[in-house]
Structure 1
Amino acid sequence: MPTLIAGAVAVIVLYLLLQMFRAANPATLARAIKIVGGVVALAIAAFTGFKGELAVAVPLGIFGAGLLGWSPFGMPGFPNIGGIFRGAGAPRSAGQTSRVCSQFIDMTLDHDSGELDGRIVAGPYAGRSLSEFDLSQLTAMISGFDAESVALLESYLDRRFPAWRHDAQGNTAGGQRRAATSGKMTDEEAYQILGLQPGARRDEIGRAHRSLMKKLHPDQGGSTYLAARVNEAKDTLLRTHND
């Protein structure tokens, strides 16, 4: 009987953890995995080091420290092991962000964390951040937005509440819309979307595009709309680029 009860409790706990995992913000989840992995690696390194197995403890300790963002020995040229979660050879973006704007929303993507957030720029909630509202409040805004703003809001909801489309009822929310853009993209908009300064070189445009697509591609749990805007930004800049 105790075994049966323990098994039932384990099933319930696993189910709750799975639901939390599905609803978690991917960027937050990735950071949590890195932190937990780093702490566990350091703990194992300390244990093996205490037993005198330095050949195992030292590299494991360096790996754990790297996951927590520490560059071993303070050497400027020593690669940060945590960078393997961003892709081999991917440079840090040093606070770089991308912006996509519509009539109602100014959306920002942080290149380092992959976090997506936005500010409402028109209407009764102008000046407030999307992160201040819960799911029901955000979906209630959809009916008052234009198609482009709806697409941006849905992209934000996909990132913050991955299961929201499945849970949404009716056609007012949760639909896969293809927004009509406000017109031909300007160079200024393209630079903002790619997070680049005007005059960026072709190789910088290509790197920024590849980096953003890794975070926004629909196959990686990203946004179809934002991925399309990133592609459009790249094409806009490369069409008139000469070097």
Structure 2
Amino acid sequence: MTFLAGAVALLLLWWFGRNLKIRHPALTARVLRQVGGYAALALAALFLVRGRLEFAILLGGGAIWLLEGSAGLNRRVRGLAARYDPRRLSGATIRFDAAGEGIALAGPYAGQPLSAIPLPALVALFGRDADTARRLEAYLDRRHPGWRVDAQGNPDPGPRRAAYPGAMTEQEAYEILGLERGASLEQVRAAHRTLMKRLHPDQGGTAEQAARVNAARDRLNNRHR
């Protein structure tokens, strides 16, 4: 019944505009669209007050179309969708499935499977969502075992920031360096130097291990800044 009332209201608006143009040919189409648009807005407000949300939305959309055209309607719909996009609200950049595979939700490769995305672009998908970062790290460990070396660059023990600190938690950094939570900056540096000596290639260490120790050092250094 309510749907029928909305349809009748739209039909009356169309009939009113058609007859107005016949009786007053000097009126431009722009004026007619404005009159119809504001009339539709008034009806939308009436339906909204009466609790008929579906028809308020229908008439409101028709009013925007009359007043701003199809381009304006599309622009408003896109803006509304972006504002309430759950990906934007959660910060997630990847949607993972049960098998650990995923699809990018953001960036230039949005909509593509992770298997089709180059390694540098994959690393760039580390976002502010902790769960996404954790699962992406696991994916990279499985698909690209040496990715940390590429991400960290030169494993030199000199001071620098971790390239992607969000990939390692503070607790993990303490465990890697063999320290208790709350260790001082000097203790962090001393533990880092000791481990780097043990991980020298002549001692059987690998570049990936050194990169992870560097990342742990940088993660805790950032805590003291």
TM-score by length of 1: 0.26
Larger Rg: 2
- Higher relative contact order (Cα pairs below 8 Å, separated by 6+ residues): 1
